[in-house]
Amino acid sequence: MTLDTTSAKVCLITGATDGIGKQTALELAQLGYSLVLVGRNTEKGRTTIAELSSRTGNESIQFHCADLSSMKAISLLCDEIKSSYDTLDILINNAGAYFREFCKTDEGFEQTFALNHLAYSYLTQLLLEMVRDGKPGRIINVASSAHRNTKFNFNDIQGINDYKGWPAYGRSKLANIMFTYECHRRFNDTGVTFNCLHPGFVDSNFGNNNSGFARKSISFAKFLFAINIVKGAQTSIYLASSDEVEGMSGKYFDKCKPTQSSKVSQVKNDQTRLWDISEEMINSIQPN
What does the alpha-carbon distance between residue 200 and residue 204 come to, in Å, rounded to a whole number?
11
Instruction: Tell me if residue 181 is catalytic.
Output: no
* Alpha carbon distance 242, 244 (integer Å): 5
d(CA 63, CA 109): 26
Phi, psi of 51, rounded to the nearest 5 degrees: -65, -50
Selected catalytic residue, list 98, 120, 169, 238: 169
Q: Which amino acid is at 14?
A: T
**Spatial contact of 30 and 5, defined as CB atoms under 8 Å apart:** no
Query: Count of CB atoms within 10 A of residue 260's CB?
Result: 10
State the Cα–Cα distance between residues 81 and 12, nearest whole angstrom: 9
Q: How many CB atoms lie within 10 A of CB 271?
A: 22
* Catalytic positions: 169
